[in-house]
Structure 1
């Protein structure tokens, strides 16, 4: 009944609603007011059951407050209004549904640690400049987000960002990422311009920016020592690449489908390398036969193998 009452409010009425005065039950009913099939969560739209019994809602046994929402793969349709999420919620899983609408990341709970909203139909921009300082993970791949993203004002504790497979565009500034960043994936978008890989966080282990429209030369001589996976494939990068100072732990390096060219030293590839892809480039050079025994080598015809 409460949900219906709120739905019938005018925009000005909604503006007068006092968030702090609403119970967690009322807030959650506001969150799902835009769902086409709320019965998958709360029983029925007309008479929703107590929020403590909603599917995927986790309640703290001591405070009796909502701390987690897990609606992963619940076949949900419609929209979710995150501005009404209770301030006690720290983790939200919305992935693998058919949710649509915009996602306002500026109104997340101040204690939010993880937000997963991948594999949906969300659209609009991704405002990353006002994320909660507590946020550790933001996973929003396979949606329809558009516009540019700012990576220079991310929360200090943010360790994982995946915004792959959207329609994001603009340039990428990777020089001011949080020191806590470990995994960053922005592949399959429409990013353009050059990228600076010489000021990445020391603890970064994975960077995937393949399948974009990035260009210019790349410096691979100052990569983080803990980096294990770097995918630059399917872009428009050019010039030669120096592979003599790769991180000692790197196991995947994909440079394929670019305009790289010139003589390259392949004799100092780290022993940790398991997947090296330089196919569909104009790189040339020699590789010792033991280096060619990689678990997965996608090679260029211009690279010659020699016995050590």
Structure 2
């Protein structure tokens, strides 16, 4: 009965009031709103059907002030049922880590609405849709994983948070051109494979920290690819999209032939 009341409350917010200020709700209410349309939300309920205190929620960490700091729902076996929708507007502003994977939840991501103190964000293997505005991401982020989704539109590499070390936006519907000249200096891993990026790319100005760049299964096409001279980053790309590879001195570079029609090179 209590949960039924909460469901009506959530519906009235969505249909009548619309967006409201998160500051007007307790963290308990925000978390209840966050999962209110999950198919597997019963994992957060007590035996009498009411939501348990958030300090008791599965893989949710709260601090001494009962503020949610970490949410890690990154696993297939955490919930009894998959599916539903998620509205990330309700993420408490105190959240530093948010991970949700393999839940088959639908929804969109308004990057400007994410908690400003967010450090890790992962929504892989969910049918999230709509555009993803990189420029709206919290500027102190360290890890971004949004692979295997229906997210679409451009992906502006020049707008990534300057503190980012790990970025995976693979197997989605992103498109457009890519500018690798202003990647975050601490970035160590970048996976953009399995999208619809096109045009020509230049890999001559990659950050020294970058160790792995995965950009195969896209739609790049060019006669000549420029890479750097440092030879620190291992790059994996499609074999049939590049005619010739040269370093910044104009010297031709011979890549290694990888499996499944891929090229591997150091750049």
Can you list the C-alpha shifts for 1:57-95, whole angstroms capped at 9, x where unaligned? 1112x2321110111223431111111111111001101
Q: Which residue in the other structure is 1:277 paired with?
A: 257
CA positional deviation for 1:243: 7.5
Q: Work out the CA distance in 1 between the residues paired with 2:35 and 2:260.
A: 48
Q: Which runs of 5+ in 2 are unaligned?
A: none
Distance (whole Å) between structure 1 residues aligned to residue 38 and residue 230 of structure 2:
44
When residues 225 and 280 of structure 1 are mapped into structure 2, their CA distance, relative to the original with a 3 A threshold, is closer
Partner of 2:199: 193
* 1:129 match: secondary structure: helix
Q: Over alpha carbons, which structure has the higher Rg?
A: 1
1:224: Cα distance to partner?
4.5
Partner of 1:39: 42
Pairwise CA RMSD of aligned residues?
2.7
Which position in structure 2 is the counterpart of 1:230? Answer: 235
Normalized per residue, the structure richer in helix is 2
Alignment correspondent of 1:66: 68
User: Cα deviations across residues 155-194 of structure 1 (Å, max 9, x unaligned)?
Assistant: 1101111011111111111111111211111001111000
Return the alpha-carbon distance in structure 2 between the equivalents of residues 237 and 105 of structure 1: 34
* 1:265 shift after superposition: 6.6
**For residue 93 of structure 1, what is the aligned residue in structure 2?**
99
Q: Distance in 2 between matches of 1:6 and 1:129?
A: 30
Instruction: Compute the displacement of 1:279 (Å).
Output: 7.7
TM-score, normalised via structure 1 length: 0.74
- Name 1:14's counterpart in structure 2: 18
Distance 2:187 2:119 in 1: 14
Inter-CA distance 133–211: structure 2 relative to 1 (3 Å threshold): same
Please name the residue that 1:248 is paired with: none
Give the aligned partner of residue 60 of structure 2.
57
Q: TM-score if structure 2 supplies the norm length? A: 0.85
Contact persistence 1:140–1:162 (CA under 8 A): yes
Aligned residues: 253
Counterpart for residue 109 of structure 2: 103
> Secondary structure in 2 aligned to 1:145?
strand
Deviation sequence 1:79-116 (CA, Å, 0-9, x none): 11111111111001101221112122221111100011
